[in-house]
Amino acid sequence: MSLNFDEQMKKRVTEIKSVIAGYLPEEDGFQRTLLEAVNYSMLVGGKKLRPLLMQQTYVMFGGKSSVIKPFMAAMEMVHTHSLIHDDLPAMDNDEYRRGKKTTHIVYGEAMAILAGDALLNLAYETAAKAFDMEPDNPCIGRAFQILAGKTGLYGMIGGQSVDVEYAGKPLTEEQLHFIYRLKTGALIEASMMIGAVLAGASGEELEKLQQAAANVGLAFQIQDDILDVTGDEETLGKAVNSDEKNEKTTYVTVKGLEQAQEDVARYSKEAIRLLDELPYENEFLRELILHLIHRSA
């Protein structure tokens, strides 16, 4: 990975954090504890990969407006909502996330549930601000549909429900792919699709981009499974071997570590192939995808 990429990554993540911070609530009023829990969860760290993928896809397709910004913030809110709920005792029961105490450890289980709920709702409130920015832009409604659809029953939450229901039970490869495509892939697909839609991508371009993003999401989640076995807690900022602790069937348990690593390479290669078929270029986006798929943390 080039030094130039690392410098660009740092600069862009700093910019994205600033954009997101502008949409976070003031910590006052009787519900101040909830607002503090929301902001704690949003500001605790993380690479902001989904809003970064959205922004860079938007740029690749020629987007130049600020209308992308509320959607970038909204995507990170949806993602953070899912992390808060994932960490709850009823789910993965994790104490650390991004190297810090999880929201339910700091604020209690009830407040963490409410903070997750609040962030999911705040995401839609935030994305809706784009309508005020460009009321005559028909692409905003389509982008909003993608955000809502990829978040819900047939997206992230649907995938999470199957993951929870089958915890401790054997899974087929088909079931595992279904969970990964929805639980992890849906938000990655949504991020890249929203960027493309807001920049005016055609239907054919959008379909190809979604296929590329689906491969990115699958490779990303398999790499997550690999890191749960091979990573260390200090580097990852969260507990390792948590899948085994929670009796979860993962890609590694179904296919083995070596095959999982081969499949990460295969899916990432396919993602880049599809991306390269589009008549646009963004070398940083290309490097970003390879970076997040083959990450060590």
Q: How confident is the model at residue 294 (pLDDT cuts 50, 70, 90)?
A: confident
Q: What tokens appear for 218 in the block?
A: 């699958």
Tell me the CATH number at 25: 1.10.600.10
The b-or-e profile of 71-96 (16+ CB within 10 A means b, else e) is bbbbbbbbbbbbbbbbbbeebbebee
Please give the Cα distance from 205 to 209 (Å, whole number). Answer: 6
Name which of 34-43, 147-156, 163-172, 178-187 the model is least confident about.
163-172
Split at pLDDT 50, 70, 90, the class of 293 is confident
Q: How many domains does the chain have?
A: 1
Taking alpha carbons only, the member of 141, 81, 143 closest to residue 112 is 81
> 149 is in which domain, residue-wise?
3-293
**pTM (two decimals):** 0.92
- E strand or H helix at 97: strand 96-97
